[in-house]
A and B are shown apart, each in its own frame.
Chain A
């Protein structure tokens, strides 16, 4: 157990912060532990946190995808356009919208892998370009009047008190944990993130894994965009604009290294719950949303700064320096 705690130090800290947040919230607000509030807690940021789950894979793999929010908007716009101007069955339109998201991911993945360009820049172009594509499709219109079943799926509880999207998030989290922690694919995601060259020299299909991740990222973003459309009941070209930084913040707060190779789904889940609870608690206490954002920003910086300072202080102590590697004379 203590071995586990030592190798999961950040998860332990986050768990502590989460417990404190929950206890404080429960004391401060009588509504906090109500079922409605708990559902609501997830509900208000549900699309972001679904995408955060896949973003964790991408960052652990040593890449980044800034385009997710734009791809959300793009897929939703594809759906709305098909619905508005073709007689296609709505289910088919949904499938095409999802395919559009996956295609967006595929294109970016191919550019990153084949041209060896930094994903930061490629997906920045994607961020601008796919948002642009959504605007091209919808201009300044708001397209709605979706089939009733679609709106209902997006807005009402489906199973017990839980709406579809919350269930999707739960399932996605479970699958993501399983894949990352238990499967060969997850193993490859880590090893490539920690050293792509070692992986290549061990016969791992580095490019294939990277492309698959970008496709999954695009597909998930597309799916989240469609869910968002259902929740809102209508789509604009600006749907989900600026979500990307929030999503990345949650992943990094979860202890995922921006340099790749480390981080756990548990950490990301705890970070998501912590962020949601801080926002929710502060919201119940009538604290402005922007302060919630600031608190999360502070946590993000602190999460890297504090361990850095700690190890700096430790290295100042005698015998605390980094171990000498063997001589290579």
Chain B
């Protein structure tokens, strides 16, 4: 009986918070289980490995969350990472005396510029996000290839601070290092989380994703906000590009390939609904961390070959999507049925309770402001 107050406290939590908490619990559970199976699992080295390896996907998951929340998707983030990483590395190779912050600014600006192309095409060109970003996925990659002309920027041509930054640590306790790059990622995540939760435009992004028609009725400038969400996602991908350069050292024209779907997976596992309107950047961050923890932990289990990790990850993505949809449906069912007393529901609602809450699978993720604007009069 003592669990009742705790339960009701949980119930009072907003669903996003609940999702974040459950992810933390899952990560903790994974760490505990692996700790029982793997000798010497609780080592600083393992912690450091997870945190350094996750940095790039963590930032990209946040970028993805930014656009998915408003019912879009950005498949070009991997290519944006490549462009930003290469241009920044190339700049540093020619200006080795430049201040590190300049390099970060260049990477972010390059990403934002590419993001604004996506944003323009989606918000003002009326092209579905999935098509735009599928196209720019190829296009941006082409840009960097053309620019590089096949040449790599090698680690030894970069200033020393780049290599040092990769291993640099802010605080260290008993082998557990807080790497600078990871610290930056955390600051970015927390900052973005705060912005999305507290800034008016952040809440409006949620509103657009949650109910585009109602957003239009409320006078929310959907096009402008969609545009800026892509600029933001591009800027974050640019930052991830900088991190890529720092972590890998040698940058080729193919840098960051394949990260787009990883970032979508991390966001989805982190509770960001592909149908828009729900999920948080913090959730996406935890999703990325959970994935990386599992990946790197599975490698350490003697009975399991490292090759299991993707198979496990696929199942994990599926499970988290299914639980999410079951939860959401339960929520909406509560809303739908509670109105029925001695009176009857309106006939349209009684027909198919899921019809309005489960939009068609393709239209919604890529649904965009302009489609909603063609309301027939």
Contact = CB atoms under 8 A, between A and B. Distances in A.
Interface string B327-354: 0000000000000000000000000101
A151 to B, nearest CB: 26
B136 A115 contact: no
A325 B350 CA distance: 26
A325 B131 contact: no
Choose among A260, A305, A309 the residue with the greatest number of B CB atoms under 10 Å from its CB: A305
A132 B141 CA distance: 26
Contacts of B296: none
A210 to B, nearest CB: 10
A69 B308 CA distance: 18
A3 to B, nearest CB: 25
Interface stretch (A29-37, A154-162, A177-185, A290-298): A290-298
A170 B196 CA distance: 51
Nearest to B136: A297
A300 B310 contact: no
Contacts of A249: 134-135, 138
B240 interface: no
Interface string A236-249: 01000110010011
A179 to B, nearest CB: 21
Contacts of A228: none
A80 to B, nearest CB: 14
Contacts of B361: 62-64, 112, 117-120
Contacts, number: 184
Given A242-B258, A245-B134, A258-B130, A125 B317 contact: yes
Interface stretch (B44-52, B119-127, B176-184, B227-235): B119-127
Contact of A118 (B257, B307, B364): B364
B4 interface: no
Nearest to A327: B377
Given A129-B315, A132-B310, A133-B311, A312 B143 contact: no
B5 interface: no
A258 B366 CA distance: 9
A290 B141 contact: yes
A122 B145 contact: no
Contacts of A120: 274, 361-362, 365
A129 B311 contact: yes
Nearest to A200: B352
Contacts of B128: 258-259, 304
Nearest to B309: A132
Given A124-B268, A297-B137, A258 B310 contact: no
B325 interface: yes
Interface stretch (A4-12, A46-54, A135-143): A135-143
A130 interface: yes
Contact residues of B: prevailing secondary structure: helix
A116 interface: yes
A203 interface: no
A196 interface: yes
Contacts of B307: 132, 135-136, 138-140, 237
Given A124-B264, A259-B362, A308-B127, A135 B274 contact: no
Interface string B263-286: 011001000001100000000000
Interface string B64-77: 00000000000100
B353 to A, nearest CB: 11
Interface string B350-375: 00101100101111111000100010
B250 to A, nearest CB: 18
Contact of A128 (B136, B308, B310, B322): B310
Interface of B: 75, 121, 125-128, 130-132, 134-139, 141-143, 145-146, 150, 253, 257-258, 261, 264-265, 268, 274-275, 305, 307-315, 317-318, 321-322, 325, 352, 354-355, 358, 360-366, 370, 374, 376-377
Given A258-B128, A260-B363, 11 more contacts: A63-B361, A122-B321, A127-B261, A128-B313, A132-B308, A132-B313, A136-B305, A249-B138, A258-B130, A293-B142, A295-B142
6 contacts: A66-B261, A125-B317, A128-B261, A129-B315, A140-B307, A309-B125
